[in-house]
Amino acid sequence: MTSPTATSPIPPAGSTGRAVLLVHGFTGSPVSLEPWAEDLRRRGFAVSLPLLPGHGTAWQDLVSARWPSWSAAVLHAYDELQRNHDRVYVGALSMGGTLALELATHRRPAALALVNPALSFGDRRARSAGLLRHVVKSTPAIANDIARPGQDEGAYPRTPVAGVAQLGALMKHVRRRLPLVVSPIATFTSDTDHIVPPSDSGVIHARVGTPAEDRRATRLPESYHVATLDYDAETIFAESAEFFGRY
């Protein structure tokens, strides 16, 4: 299989059965989810890994991106899978988890598996991005928060402040709509995360409309934020596949 690049999303494969939509994070790319995609394919799932608007090119392209375009891209990819597969699941990392939750307020995925999903900023300065974007165009990258050496998630070298403001607006929107989410949900949360507060996963479990018996929470003691490329990656792969298999 040819390795995906930031500008070449992994296409879906197969026309029937089970499929998984994987959604990458803010300033990131499909590279961060490639090992997860490969594992799911080995287990018999078709996989789609779309590239979000404003990502995978140059960080300046994210300056003008708006969060509804990210949400629309995820919704489109989900609907494409649903046309040809009996069940469609969603796996996601970081802001991808936020977008997966937003998707689940409009559609009914068979199940969700969210890795360090974001509902708030770990850095308090990011909360002022809506004002700062007028005077500061970009900041150093929020990328490669990975404990395991030698890993690279393929994120931008700079973080556009306007993009951070859009992320904040998305998270605020999704927090209000969490009770509308009723799909089975599994969260995978790193004990040490320098980007997203681990408590965000608890907020999700407390507020979604998913029945208690269809919620699962897994701790990742050895990984940082980009856990799909970190020491606990195999736990994510195995447990998410098992969770999907329940539904």
Active-site residue list: 94, 193, 225
Q: How far apart are CA 157 and CA 236, in angstroms?
A: 27
Q: What are phi and psi of 90, to 5 degrees?
A: -130, 130
Torsion angle, alpha carbons of 190, 127, 202, 50, to 10: -60
Running DSSP on this structure, what letter comes out for residue 10? B
Q: How far apart are CA 176 and CA 182, in angstroms?
A: 14
Q: 115: which 2 tokens?
A: 């890795």
Q: How far apart are CA 185 and CA 111, in angstroms?
A: 6
